[in-house]
Structure 1
């Protein structure tokens, strides 16, 4: 951050599971054009070519960041009739929820490149949720995403 924006001062603080890095300036929008006025779902969110190169080189870091900011891992459940008896089944699932079509597209494009199976889940007529529930895909996510702090 100091190389890109030497002024103003940057700050670092060790937190549980991460290092928090801060720098306050109005000029960050010059480096990160996705940031700007208004709601993110009402403006285009497109990665600059240099940003896409980083995502392509480190896709798991990108997915981890998206899950840790706008997603979660939880235990889902369903019931089925087996031999006339209703049984409850539980299974892990990753959820990602974002109102921005562009951000959801960046997420699902990256999942596709990683071979992760996903589905749109419409809730109350809104298609903001992306679900990863297939056993093999959840295992890959577990191996690379890690716990959310």
Structure 2
């Protein structure tokens, strides 16, 4: 245990988050996601897991140490519902709230089509699979910077 570090942030996940640079992306995905085939194509090259943890709870842990990118129009995305890209699921609303709580009301989730999401996840720094059992619990977060204190 570390002081002031969310206990869900295990050593492997902390290493990945610290290793990511500005503009690198982390995919946070649900339990149905093809984790092994996608993760092997990422920079990290292997899957990260938080079994038994919902996607919103994983977001809270990750966003407690990971700033979102302020230099791009959209730094966080949700996988769109197939055939209904404007529909939001409960897990997506809950994830959005975690983003708002961590970064403020200007950080709205963008939508990304399912197969485009898979391709973006392959190009990400790493993929974190949660125990999220609800459908469309897949998200992308782009790391920002922490400005120096004046």
Q: TM-score range by the shorter chain?
A: under 0.3
Larger radius of gyration: 1
Higher relative strand content: 1
TM-score (norm 2): 0.26
Higher relative helix content: 1
Task: Pick 1 or 2: higher relative contact order, CA cutoff 8 A, min separation 6.
Answer: 2
